[in-house]
Amino acid sequence: MTGMQSGLGSTNPTVVAAFRAALVHQGLAVLAALAVLMLAAALWRRRSPSSPRPPAAGAEPAGRHLLRTGFGVLWIFDGLLQAQPAMAAGLPSQVIAPGAAGAPGWVRHLVSWGATSWSYHPLEAAAAAVWIQIGIGIWLISAARGSWSRLAGLASLGWGLVVWVFGEAFGGIFAPGLSGLFGAPGAVLFYCLAGVLVARPERCWRGTRPGRMVLAGLGVLFLALAVLQLWPGRAGTLAPMLRSMAATPQPGLFRAWVSGFASFTAAHANTVNLAAATLLALTGVALLSAGTGLLTPATARGRLLPAAIGGTVLFCLADWVLAEDFGFFGGLGTDPNSMIPLILLVVAGYLAVARLPAPAAAVAGPAAGPAPPGRLKPPAPRVTVAAWAVLVIVFGAVPLAAAQLSRHADPVLARALDGDAAPLDFRAPAFTLTDQYGRPVSLASLRGKTILMTFLDPVCTSDCPLIAQEFRQADQQLGPAAGHVELVAIEANPLYRSVGYLQAFDRQENLTGLRNWLFLTGSLDRLRRVWSGYSIQAEILPAGGMIAHSDVAYVIDQHGDTRLELNFDPGPGTASTQSSFADELTSAADRFLGRS
């Protein structure tokens, strides 16, 4: 899928360093915003006369309290996982692409669009995921009541849907080999469900209906997963999946557990699969019974419902350890997979059905009484923290949105592949050659323009076409300023030097319409003098027609001085890296045009 493979190692030092720097700078801004908000709230409270605290509005229902705080903690944990060094470069190719493999074409196309956006702007995307998820988590935990709390639930729902679609490819529900034991229908879908439940008016939680709906819905889900687990061919996929989990970098103890279970499963695949399907079905029946009222609050006090809930929790924990392998090891784990969110939903549903009291700390009311007439009530500490959480989300979302408005990839990709541009300051070696139309062109004739110059082989089928397209994109990005820039390529093949080869290359790469594009050639002696002057190696390989030559670009200013050397090995030649090199060229030209 286009854009899903950046060609960079997930731990590329340039990308990792830039990602860490972005997180540090944004983190300092986040802390500064918190300090400003706290100071403003403190000053506001000091100027407002004290007033008696109103009576408490009643304890927050225990089920809602668990969902709000539990999923708040999960969002914060997921945000911290997104801060792992490998995320910026590795997530599109190593997480998103495998998740969409085998899915229908429309799913791959949709997910590819999201992965391409990430690949073009890896720093902004990775940092946004960190701050948005941490912000949602803080918001959920701090906003216990009222509109702030319900809006936090909606934020969890909205971002969860984005992650479920683009990050989890709809939880893999359209891919072959779907299994609830390994995370179907997607962990983040449960975050969305929790967001919907938190966003409901609190009065809806005063009865047992929300808990029954949750338990009944989860019961149907477990029954569906049991049927799916009995589908032909599922037994044969268990051991390979477990072995792949065990291969993930992780503590040796956990690897031993998963490896041992994988070996046992390989020897008894049908038995293990039948046992798993049976446990899924029994869990589904128990939850559905609780949701439909067959297990009543009275029987809950008789230990039947708590036993069913306890069995469900134990099954989920066992699957989390042995099948899902905790879900977050290896440097690219984005969440603890589906079983922990499932446990939170199951227990929250039970608390709502059994109507157990919320913890005393959950009793919340406004921190201060009504303000005197004509004066706004100062914000409670929880509201201040919730407002800060919203700012944290903004700190992540705004740079990402701004990056999406640009059609050009982050130049960090080019620097990661080939390093920074090397500053130079010497007179550009003179030359007089012939352009693709047979006209003489000298370096002196280009004086007054900024020159972007490279060396290309017109019969090359690998790097040279990619470099040519990077120059063409740079011309488009320069816009009106392209009239002050000359794009120059010099022949780098000692065998195929005629004008006809240059013209064929231009037609092939759609360069004939560029008025400022020059492809220069000449006699072998003249070309060798130019190659020597610019330290270009052009050698005929033993196989015959293939030419090995330097992939480099030079920036020559209006006065004829060589100012920059850019290593231009195009690496993987993906759309994102090609755009990144083009942006690097554009920035280099801007630097000497006086535009930046």
Residue 416 backbone phi and psi in degrees, to 5? -65, -35
What value does the mean pLDDT take over residues 43-71?
77
Do 348 and 362 fall within a single domain? no
Bridge partners (DSSP) of residue 566 are 553
- Is residue 253 located within the same domain as residue 323? yes
Q: Which segment of 104-113, 156-165, 206-215, 536-545 scores lowest on mean pLDDT?
A: 536-545
Q: Which of 157, 141, 142 has its CA nearest to residue 200?
A: 157
- For residue 70, the SS3 value is helix
Q: Are residues 364 and 328 in the same domain?
A: no
Displacement of CA 112 from its chain's centroid (Å): 12
Question: Is pLDDT above 80 for 1?
Answer: no
- Examine the domain organization and report whether 249 and 126 are in the same domain: no
Residues 504 and 540 in one domain: yes
Is residue 460 left, alpha or beta, with left meaning phi > 0 and alpha meaning psi from -120 to 50? beta
Q: Last residue of some domain: 406, 422, 440?
A: 406
* Banded pLDDT at 527 (limits 50, 70, 90): very high
- Tell me what pLDDT residue 573 has: 75
Give per-residue pLDDT as tens, 86-137. Answer: 999 999 888 888 888 888 999 999 998 888 889 999 999 999 999 999 999 9
Q: Which of 331, 354, 377 is the last residue of a domain?
A: 354
pTM here is 0.87
By percentage, how much of the chain surpasses pLDDT 90? 60
335: confidence class by pLDDT, cuts 50, 70, 90? very high
Determine what percent of the chain is predicted with pLDDT higher than 70. 89
Q: Is the confidence at residue 522, as pLDDT, over 60?
A: yes
Reply yes or no on whether the pLDDT at 268 is more than 90: yes
Residues 557 and 428 grouped into a single domain = yes
Rounded alpha-carbon distances, angstroms, from residue 265 to 182, 235, 246, 270: 14, 9, 13, 8
Q: Check residue 572 and give its pLDDT.
A: 74
Residues 425 and 373 in one domain: no
Indicate whether 23 pLDDT > 60. Answer: yes
Statement: residue 378 has pLDDT above 80: no
The pLDDT value recorded for residue 75 is: 98
Domain total for the chain? 3
Comparing CA positions, the residue from 217, 111, 113, 126 lying closest to residue 174 is 111
Q: Is the confidence at residue 514, as pLDDT, over 60?
A: yes
User: Tell me, what's the pLDDT at 259?
Assistant: 92
Residue 80 pLDDT > 90 = yes
Same domain as 342, residue 400: no
For residues 394 and 536, membership in a common domain is answered with no
The one-character DSSP state at 359 is: P
CA dist 489 and 522 (Å) reads 12
Least confident of 42-56, 167-181, 380-394, 508-522: 42-56
Q: Which domain holds residue 250?
A: 208-354
Same domain, 398 and 423: no
What CA dihedral angle connects 196, 201, 203 and 209, to 10 degrees?
-20
Average predicted confidence (pLDDT) for the chain? 87
Check whether residue 39 and residue 167 sit in a common domain. yes
CA distance linking residue 148 with residue 58, whole number of Å? 17
pLDDT of 577: 86
Confidence of residue 545 (pLDDT cuts 50, 70, 90): low
The pLDDT tens digits of the residues spanning 447-486 come to 999 999 999 999 988 889 999 999 999 999 999 999 999 9
For residues 553 and 452, the answer to whether their CB atoms sit within 8 Å is yes
Q: Helices 463-478 and 499-508 meet at what angle, rounded to 10?
A: 70
Q: What single-letter amino acid sits at 550?
A: S
| pLDDT confidence of residue 4 | 37
Same domain, 444 and 371: no
What is the 3-state secondary structure of 288-300? HHHHHCCCCHHHH
**Rounded CA separation 352/212 (Å):** 8
pLDDT band at 363 (very low <50, low <70, confident <90, very high): very low
Most confident of 135-144, 199-208, 228-237, 348-357: 135-144
What's residue 176's pLDDT?
81
3-state secondary structure of 431: coil
| pLDDT band (50, 70, 90) for residue 3 | very low
Task: List, in sequence order, the alpha helices (H) in 376-523.
Answer: 381-404, 412-418, 463-478, 499-508
Residue 360 has pLDDT above 80, yes or no: no
- CATH number of the domain within which 565 lies: 3.40.30.10
Dig out the tokens for 536 from the structure.
């270009």
Burial class (CB in 10 A: 0-12, 13-18, 19+), 283: buried
Identify the residue with better confidence: 558 or 300. Answer: 558
Highest mean pLDDT among 59-63, 107-111, 157-161 belongs to 157-161
